[in-house]
Structure 1
């Protein structure tokens, strides 16, 4: 999943579909500043191609990114050649500094396979957080709000290419599996197609809250933002 073919068109596709990375990053920055005005450093976990980081880099004194997919990370390195970017797993990574803000966006945290992995992920975040810092998490759809057998489709022409994307998401055990088919028509290379599959665990809102608290974090939930999935904001619990 998140292979080289997708990485090469990811930003053009999602921006053409209406995702405004800069606007989202500005909103998240304002949300962070309202709670931690002096926040100066940020780690984007699951940073993908670095599209959010590009804006964060102008709003925080120091930013870094962590991404599991090396193909996506290559795109991020081209976009942000002077930003520290790390290949690593959100469930178990070790960096040599702590951050005032740790963000994990676009439902990436839903790739945790079970509650144990979710707790390990949040514990890893907590270890990399400065005192008084803030964790910002955009969850995948909650088990109680997930729509089974959801179908989506778009055809966009962001540049010299026409890109068609169709997807079907179905429930599979305690999670969801999204099958996505891409068809790309390029003036120079002709027509190509490829498929990808993504699995997410369907945690409940209460399970996210419990996992954050198990990691020593006290969460707040903001509903109806980030395409309707909402946001968790969490700080270290006072002893």
Structure 2
């Protein structure tokens, strides 16, 4: 999952499929500052190749990123040499400081069990100041997941042609997605497969787990990708 072949084309695939990274970063920032107007620092967990992070960099005084995949980090480091980037697992990392905001987008938190989700959110809380804001994008809920969903695209960036065909199925209470890529360029054509498992956590599990980690919680429907966002404020902030 998220190997070097995919890291090379990741940004092309999602941008050309319509993902608006600048607009999403702006919206998330607005949600953060609606709860903490003075927010100046942000940690992007599961930052990938930096699609959102490079835009957060223009919206906050200080940003950092955490990513498990070394292949994705290599792309991010080339793109953003001035931003601190850390290789780490969202369930147990320590970057040595706290932030005004911690975000985890693109349903990355759903690549784990409910018990691991609880540990992840506690880890996020440890990296937030009192009153800091956490933003978590979920995967689909059980009632909104479409079993057997198929998607297909042909994309043509940088004198290359990329075909993407995906199939998603329900198995053992989780979403299993296989994505087939064929990439053709001057070097020839090559095929590879990326496979992902997302847990179909219900909405109330996210909310209960956020509260258990020490957050107030709110769910904002729809944005940015149709799945909505969970927002939490870390308890313990002083209020006049």
> TM-score with structure 1 length normalisation?
0.97
Q: RMSD across aligned C-alpha pairs, in angstroms?
A: 1.1
Which residue is 1:217 aligned to? 215
Task: Structure 2 unaligned segments of length 5 or more: list them.
Answer: none
1:2 aligns to 2:2 (yes or no): yes
**1:184 offset after TM fit, Å?**
0.8
Matching of residues 149-228 of structure 1 within 5 Å? 149-186=148-185, 188-228=186-226
CA deviations on 1:133-164 (whole Å, 9 max, x unpaired) are 10001111112211111111111112211110
Matching of residues 106-125 of structure 1 within 5 Å? 106-112=106-112, 114-125=113-124
4+ long deviations beyond 6 Å: none
Which residue is 1:83 aligned to? 83
CA deviations on 1:38-86 (whole Å, 9 max, x unpaired) are 0010000000001111110111111000001000010000111011101
CA contact (8 A) 2:43 2:102 kept: yes
Work out the CA distance in 2 between the residues paired with 1:160 and 1:15.
16
Aligned residues: 237
**1:95 offset after TM fit, Å?**
1.5
> TM-score with structure 2 length normalisation?
0.96
Matching of residues 62-141 of structure 1 within 5 Å? 62-112=62-112, 114-141=113-140
**1:36 offset after TM fit, Å?**
0.9
Work out the CA distance in 2 between the residues paired with 1:226 and 1:195.
26
Work out the CA distance in 2 between the residues paired with 1:172 and 1:47.
27
Work out the CA distance in 1 between the residues paired with 2:129 and 2:142.
31
**1:218 offset after TM fit, Å?**
1.2
**1:238 offset after TM fit, Å?**
5.1
**1:115 offset after TM fit, Å?**
1.4
1:37 aligns to 2:37 (yes or no): yes
CA deviations on 1:196-221 (whole Å, 9 max, x unpaired) are 10111110001101111111111100
